[in-house]
Structure 1
Amino acid sequence: MTIARAAARDSANAEDAALWRWFAALLDERRIRWCHSGRGWLVSVDHRHVATGTQFDQAMRMAKENVDGGGSGRIETPSKSTGSGRRIHLVK
């Protein structure tokens, strides 16, 4: 069990390091932007929205995944209707 935990820890550390190296490189090149809104953390790379997440690190992980390999870029709950009949998407 100790070996499995150590392997999991090392894997998580490597993933974290890769994520923050990616983030730092984009930040140095001024290619990444983020902001917190009522929908959560919005992340854009090269002026293109690539992820929305409720937690900053979650949004950054999704952004990296979407930039590197494609994906939806957000976690959604079912749409809800506003009083005007418009539909809105809520982020978990």
Structure 2
Amino acid sequence: MSEKTVSENTDWDLLSSVKASKRRTQVLKTLHEQPKMNGEIADELGVSTEWIRRQMKWLEKHGLVEDLTETKTNYKLYRASEKGKEMIELL
């Protein structure tokens, strides 16, 4: 691991929780590429949109993704937050 990717503020417990789930890691990496909707991610990973919604809630709760469409109830668009991008660099 290079010093460039490790900050003194790295949340190692959170990193461990992300790494513990292969799919959660895949979702986060997918969002690093570009903002996407739940359905797009579900199609890419071959899982249900309901499963993706649950993962997005978890990732958002932990500050790893940002909801770009907060006022919408459907067709949400998400992207990796700065904290999420830091985590991706450590995965």
Structure having the larger proportion of residues in strand? 1
Structure having the larger proportion of residues in helix? 2
TM-score by length of 1: 0.31
TM-score by length of 2: 0.31
- Which structure has the larger Rg over C-alpha atoms? 1
Greater relative contact order, per chain length (Cα 8 Å cut-off, separation 6+): 2
